Structure formats: C-alpha cells, structure tokens
Amino acid sequence: MTQHLADALPTTTGTLPGWWRDAVIYQVYPRSFADSNGDGMGDLEGIRSRLPYLKELGVDAVWLSPFYASPQADAGYDVADYRAIDPMFGTLHDADAVIREAHELGLRIIVDLVPNHCSDQHEWFKQALREGPGSPLRERFHFRPGQGESGELPPNDWESIFGGPAWTRVADGEWYLHLFAPEQPDFNWEHPAVQDEFRSVLRFWLDLGVDGFRIDVAHGLVKAPGLPDLGRDEQLKLLGNQVLPFFDQDGVHEIYRTWRKVLDEYAGDRIGVAEAWTPSADRTALYLRPDELHQAFNFHYLTTGWDAPALRATIDESLDSMRTVGAPTTWVLSNHDVVRHRTRFGGLDRARAAALLMLALPGSAYVYQGEELGLPEVTDLPDEVRQDPSFFKENGQDGLRDGCRVPIPWSGDQAPYGFGTGGSWLPQPAEWAGLSVEAQTGDPASTLELYRSALRVRRAHPQLGAGDAVEWLPAPEGVLAFRRGDFVCTANTTGEPVRLPAPGTVLLTSGELAEPDVLPADTTVWWQG
Ligand code: GLC
C-alpha cells in the first residue's frame, strides 16, 4: 500500500524551495464534508469522491482532521488507535485511496496528529487503569495521588480547557491529568515509550505517503517539572497570553527536533504544522526554527478583527517574527474550533474582502471547508443535537464549536443538499440551498467563483505567496494598501466608500467596483500595476 507518489509532485513554488512555503491548504473536517454511505456522517470515501472539486477549486494541499479509531468524545481528537481508521470513516484502504488519488491530482495530504492526549479507550490507558497505582504503565500518563486528608482533592489547581478541574479521580483513588475532556488523558512526554511510539506513528503515516502532519495542541506536550499550581482560577483567560506550566514550555522544542529528523528521512518535502497557541508571534516562531517544524497556524491573525490598523500591525508582526527563523508566515480566518469568519466579521462582504486580503499576503494560507461557499456560523442549533464536549461543561467554554461544523451543502434544494443520502449529523439551515456548490458554480458573483478566481490568479502571479515582506503604500484611514512586485492589493475595512486613485488595472475584486477611483465599503481589490 506504500505510496511515494508525492515524490513526483513539484517541490518548488514561488522563489524558495519548499512547496509548503506559499501553499493554499484546505481543511477538510471529515464528519461534515461528504457522506458516501448515507449514515449522515462524512467519511473517507466521500472525501475521495470530492477530490476533483478541491483540485478545481485550486488549492495545493488538503489537511484532514482526525479520522482515527475513536469513541468520538471530542469529535475524533480522542484517539484510541493511531494506526487504525474509525469504522465510521472507513478503512485503511480508503485512507490509502484518498492519499493516492490526491497525489494523482497533484494535491498533497496532511493528516492530523494528536500527541498531547489519547482516548481513555486507548489500550495503554486501559492497561494503566487495570494495573493500578505504582504500575510502570501509569507512568506513560500523569497519575498522582490527590491532596487533602483522604486524597479527595485534585493534585494541583489546573483547569481543563473544556471547564472544570483538569484532573479526574479513578476508582482506586489516584487522579489523572487531562487538559481537555476527562476522556482525553494527557500523555507523559518525559516517558521514552511515549516518544518512541509517536516517532513510530509518524513513520506509519509517512510510509503510507502523507505529505505532513498538523500537530494538535503542539504547545502542550511538556508540563513544568513538578506540575506546579498556577495560583489562580479563570485560567482560560490566560490561554495564549502567557507561558503556562502546561502550555508553551520550552521543553516541547526538543520533541520537534526529533520529529524533524524523522520527516527529513523521507523524500518529497514532508512537513509539520504546529497548532500552537502562544503569547506572541515571536514565541510561535520558536517552533519553526530550521531544525523544528515548517509552519504554525497564525492565531494572532485569526483573532484580529476587521480593522485596518489592527490587521496591519498583526501582518507586520507576523512577518517580522517568521523572517527571523526563515519560515513562511501562515494566514487563517476560520477552522473547526472558531466561529466562522463571515459571522465573526459581521457579513459576507467582509468575509469576501478578508479572503482576498489573506490570499494576497506572502506565505501559506489555510481555507476551512465551506468558507469558499461563504457559509455563516449556524447559531441556532438545538441543544439536543450538539456534540461538542465543551458545550456540556458548566463552567467551560461557550460551547459554540458545533456551529462551524455543520455539514456543507453540495447540491439540490433539500437537506442534506448532496452531503449524502441519509441526512446529516447536524441539521443544515434551509437557506443553505442557495449556498450549495451547485447553486454557486458558474455564477460570477458567487463566493465560490471568487475563491476559484483568486486561486487561479494567485497561481498565475506566484509573487502573491512568495517572499516574506509587503511594501505598504500610503492609504486613507481604514484602508490597507500594499505592493508585491507589479501586484497591488487595496482593502477598505470601513463601512463607507473611500476615494483612492486606481493603482493599475483590476485583476479581481471582492465586491462590485462602480468607479475605479472609489473603493467600496468592506471591499478588497487586486490590481496589476
Ligand atoms: C485542538 C483541536 C480541537 C480539540 C483540541 C483537543 O485545539 O483543534 O478541536 O478539541 O485540540 O484535542
């Protein structure tokens, strides 16, 4: 089953070697992309059958969120077997077919790796529970006695990202650490067996031909020695703002150095992408030193509002930080964990303008499935259909992650709109008939055709993704204007039209341009000039 077809794909784009430096990478959320067997849940065969759509859209690579064997306590981010496919998604043969056919189409495949924690149904954790306190198998996780007279209090004050204490007590009285749901015990990355196991898992998927890994919670693997108290509550407020005893510890970098050696053993430019929430772009850059990973999600960009000065500051800061380590900056607006940017920014015009701005910046861009259709967040899901574990927590996150995970509409005027033949695991809004791939295809005013055109223009003008700097041009308040060679991008983030001399001829525009000298509200224009 081994595939090395990736070796035959071009490895150089833009000006520097490395296909990933300016790649547009499309995130597929397997549950919600395409359902081939009518069970209402997306699957690998559905993904395989839709690869031509992604090719035609014009992306370079596809990142697949987890499809591994999992009880689905956190939609597959609770992995019970890192080398097996969950029957809900298909078989290893199906995964092989996705990788092979993607390569035949010239698309690369990045899979999700979840090394911070596994499922409580993972064989190692079940054994650790069975063998009891003091057993060496417990050392692969963080088991501790509790505090208080009879150990009835958690070992420290850490809170779970999903709410409540980060510790759960088992029948024999010990507690185990889980930074996320209780069904997601954290691995102890000091343990050599854990380190060996993940290098072996990397090789398993690299041998199958994948082009890289998106590394889940890449900043969380190493915990501060002694697991010290944080000393305060409402710890969620600190996430991404400071180094914590469980996040962004310097020790994580040693792990990625060993992983880089594994990636480099393989031909064809295999990459590692960090999902690392760090306090600053400079700290994110540390994950991308030449002997570590290749890319990291730019969450500082994702969390910046639709506001010219703020965007410019984040763009500059991101580029400056990544330049110091020679890594490409990445740009991302949406993913499976956040409110879709159409809704976050307040409307389709802004979403379209934001997409053109992102795709004009140097580096690599991530597109989350459905954003090319201009899908909004679904905000009125009934409680009984929600599955996000954070939703069920009393003190946890707002629990809104299901609203960006609703299966996408492909065709037809009735739910599930071509997603499959048997419904969809989350209900789709009635208005989505008009947003389907079929409804938008061929309509030059549609968001789908805007993305297709943008990716076509980006391919024809490799300077858009290349390099590590933008040349800012003078612009009125609320407007961003920058040059990249003979290409100019102007973006009006205000709600009013702005007069601005046309810097050339129009290549593409996110909204109708009545006069070349007037940039409409919430509109981005690409110019050749
Ligand atoms: C990452 C994933 C998220 C998941 C969490 C725990 O942040 O993107 O969906 O819940 O890790 O694995």
Out of 409, 438, 458, pick the residue that ends a domain: 458
Identify which of 155, 315, 327, 318 has the alpha carbon closest to the alpha carbon of residue 227: 155
What CATH number is attached to the domain comprising 478? 2.60.40.1180
Statement to judge: residues 226 and 345 lie in one domain: yes
Three-state secondary-structure class, residue 294: coil
**For the chain, how many structural domains are there in total?**
3
Statement to judge: residues 217 and 253 lie in one domain: yes
| C-beta 387 within 6 A of ligand 1 | no
Please give the structure tokens belonging to residue 384: 């009984």
**Sole residue written with tokens 């299966």:** 407
Ligand 1, atom 12, lies closest to the CA of 77
| C-beta 181 within 6 A of ligand 1 | no
Residue 229 falls inside a structural domain: yes
What CATH number is attached to the domain comprising 404? 3.20.20.80
Ligand 1, atom 7, lies closest to the CA of 217
| C-beta 78 within 6 A of ligand 1 | no
Q: How is residue 10 annotated by DSSP?
A: -
Helices 252-264, 192-207: inter-axial angle, 10-degree rounding? 30
What CATH number is attached to the domain comprising 133? 3.90.400.10
Out of 458, 479, 509, pick the residue that ends a domain: 458
Statement to judge: residues 24 and 76 lie in one domain: yes
Distance (angstroms) between ligand 1 centre and the Cα of 77 equals 6
Three-state secondary-structure class, residue 490: strand
Statement to judge: residues 426 and 512 lie in one domain: no
Cis geometry, peptide bond prior to residue 416 (ω within 30 degrees of 0):
yes
Domain that holds residue 129: 123-177
| C-beta 397 within 6 A of ligand 1 | no
Per-residue pLDDT of the chain (529 residues; tens, 9 = 90+): 334 444 455 544 444 579 999 999 999 999 999 999 999 999 999 999 999 999 999 999 999 999 999 999 999 999 999 999 999 999 999 999 999 999 999 999 999 999 999 999 999 999 999 999 999 999 999 999 999 999 999 999 999 998 889 999 999 999 999 999 999 999 999 999 999 999 999 999 999 999 999 999 999 999 999 999 999 988 888 888 899 999 999 999 999 999 999 999 999 999 999 999 999 999 999 999 999 999 999 999 999 999 999 999 999 999 999 999 999 999 999 999 999 999 999 999 999 999 999 999 999 999 999 999 999 999 999 888 988 887 644 333 455 799 999 999 999 999 999 999 999 999 999 999 999 999 999 999 999 999 999 999 999 998 899 999 999 999 999 999 999 999 999 999 999 999 999 999 999 999 999 999 999 999 999 999 8
At 6, which amino acid appears? A
At 64, which amino acid appears? L
pTM: 0.96
Residue 293 falls inside a structural domain: yes
Statement to judge: residues 236 and 270 lie in one domain: yes
